[in-house]
Amino acid sequence: MPVVGMVGGGQLARMTQQAAIGLGVPLRVLAASPRDSAALVCADVRIGEHTSLADLRSFAKGCDAITFDHEHVPSAHIQALEAAGVACRPSSAALLHAQDKLVMRERLSAAGAPCPAFAPVDPRDPLAAVEAFAAEHGLPVVLKATTGGYDGKGVWILESLGADDRRLVESLSGEGLSLMVEQYVPFRRELAALVARSPYGQGAAYPVVETVQRDGICHEVLAPAPGLDEELAAEAQRLALDIAERLDLVGLLAVELFETGGSAAPGGLLVNELAMRPHNSGHWTIEGARTSQFEQHLRAVLNLPLGSTEPTARYTVMANVLGGDDPDIYPRYLHVMAHDPAVKVHFYGKEVRPGRKIGHVTALGDDLAETRERARHAADYLRWGPAMGPATKERA
């Protein structure tokens, strides 16, 4: 069996290991520490830095293909591996579009994919660039770091361009951060279209899901997106397959989308971000689809025929579990299992810290409201215990 190397030892690599065990594919992980989420559960772990070309080179030796748990490996390093003959999947050329938001916007807009208006921010006069953009497109505007952001980090909404906003732009730019500015899109909700593409060019699309964010962090995923217009769902899948094809992508592609339009009118789609790896919006597929996104990613990376994306239930709801104040989660774990024997709990082996993603739960069912409540109860209880959290109190 070919060996797959995954750079990064987070929960995505951890869950990829579960799929690799089933497929019989040996998975090697490059982790920063033996306490990393995936390092705790893999047999073949190399300790090293994803920012070190030497570590990457030594890691790649003996791997038949290399893939990534995150977007933070410098593009130049991936190019150097490619030049040395390492099969990097996705390639540096494709991955760049998930690493640099400006590159992504330029490429996608040129290809006619629906994107919000955007502009680069010239570091020599950042304020002038933002003001000119706001004059053309109106306020608020969205300021983004072109690289390095995740989970809401690296994104700022500028409401007024008043003194505070102006200071923020100048200070961020002064720190050397590469910035861009985008139109603020009033959206109805956020969707995600997850597809896979293999080197042969085979593509496979999962049902389009709704992602519910809170404070920039994905809290819930509803699969399929409830009430989504069939045409729009098909358009989202086509759009994601088309982007994968144009970028000659190998592996998974998650396209985060805004569904625009009022509550009555039919909506439209705008691309928000791209991810080229297993994605939080696809965790529901472990139980909710015939082939999990983790297995699908491995199949794509190895140029194996892709698996069926057929859903296994009418509705699947995934809720992220965030750390609460009490690090001793085990008693709460027992409660959740006793309360709902059919809810599936996934823990990432991470130390509990307030607000940190430490796992997720999945519920499946025929009734969306009930399924959603089951997932939310489990996630809230794991975080807060019997006191439950503000969200639950709000609902009560």
Q: Which spans of this chain sit near its own copies (rule: CB under 8 A)?
A: 1-2, 14-15, 17-18, 20-24, 26, 39-43, 45, 204, 286, 290-291, 299, 304-308, 310, 312-313, 330, 333-334, 337-338, 341-342, 344-349, 359, 364
Is 280 marked as a binding-site residue? no
Percent of residues in the chain assigned helix, strand, coil, to nearest 5: 35, 25, 40
Using the Cα atoms of residue 181, residue 184, residue 185 and residue 188 in order, give the sign of their dihedral.
Answer: positive
Q: Least separation, in Å, of the C-beta of 241 and its own copies?
A: 16
Does 354 sit behind a cis peptide bond, omega within 30 degrees of 0 on the bond before it? no
24 vs 85, which CB is nearer to its own copies? Answer: 24
Closest distance of CB 6 from its own copies, Å = 14
C-beta of 21: minimal distance to its own copies in Å? Answer: 5
**Minimum separation from the CB atom of position 99 to its own copies (A):** 28
Residue 208 annotated as binding? no
Residue 184 labeled ligand binder: yes
What is the closest distance, in whole angstroms, from the C-beta atom of residue 268 to its own copies in the complex? 32
Q: Tell me the CA distances in angstroms from 348 to 86, 219, 299, 358, one per residue in order.
A: 29, 16, 23, 6
Q: Residue 98 in 3-state DSSP?
A: helix
Distance between CA 287 and CA 364 in Å, rounded?
8
Closest to its own copies by CB, 264 or 338: 338
Task: Tell me the C-alpha distance between 344 and 227, whole Å.
Answer: 25
Q: Of 166 and 356, which has the nearer Cβ to its own copies?
A: 356
d(CA 365, CA 342): 10
Q: Which is nearer to its own copies, 154 or 307 (CB)?
A: 307
The smaller minimum CB distance to its own copies, of residues 141 and 343, is found at 343
Q: What is the dihedral of CA 118, 94, 210, 357, to 10 degrees?
A: -100
Query: What phi-psi label fits residue 198: left (phi over 0), alpha (psi between -120 and 50 degrees) or beta?
Result: beta
Residue 394 marked in a binding site: no
Does the annotation list 303 as a binding residue? Answer: no
Q: Is 62 left (phi over 0), alpha (psi -120 to 50) or beta?
A: left
C-alpha span between 352 and 255 (Å, rounded): 29
CB distance 122 to 160 below 8 Å? no
What is the rounded CA–CA span in Å between residue 329 and residue 378?
Answer: 12
Shortest CB 236 distance to its own copies, Å: 21
Q: Which amino acid is located at 260 in the chain?
A: T
Q: Specify the pairing of strand 209-214 against strand 217-223.
A: antiparallel
Which is nearer to its own copies, 265 or 338 (by Cβ)? 338
For its own copies, the closer CB: 24 or 262: 24
Instruction: Output the smallest distance, CB 4 to its own copies, in A.
Output: 13
190 labeled binding residue: yes
Smallest gap, in angstroms, from Cβ of residue 141 to its own copies? 41
Whose Cβ is closer to its own copies: residue 150's or residue 333's?
333
Q: H/E element holding 157?
A: strand 155-158
In Å, what is the CA distance from 381 to each residue of 48, 214, 248, 377? Answer: 36, 17, 43, 6
CB of 251 to its own copies, least distance (A): 16
By C-beta, is 180 or 358 nearer to its own copies?
358
Query: Taking Cα atoms as reference points, which of 30, 60, 58, 35 lies closest to residue 45?
Result: 30
106 is in an annotated binding site: no
Q: Which residue numbers belong to the known binding site for ATP? A: 101, 144, 182-185, 190, 272-273
Q: Which residue numbers belong to the known binding site? A: 101, 144, 182-185, 190, 272-273
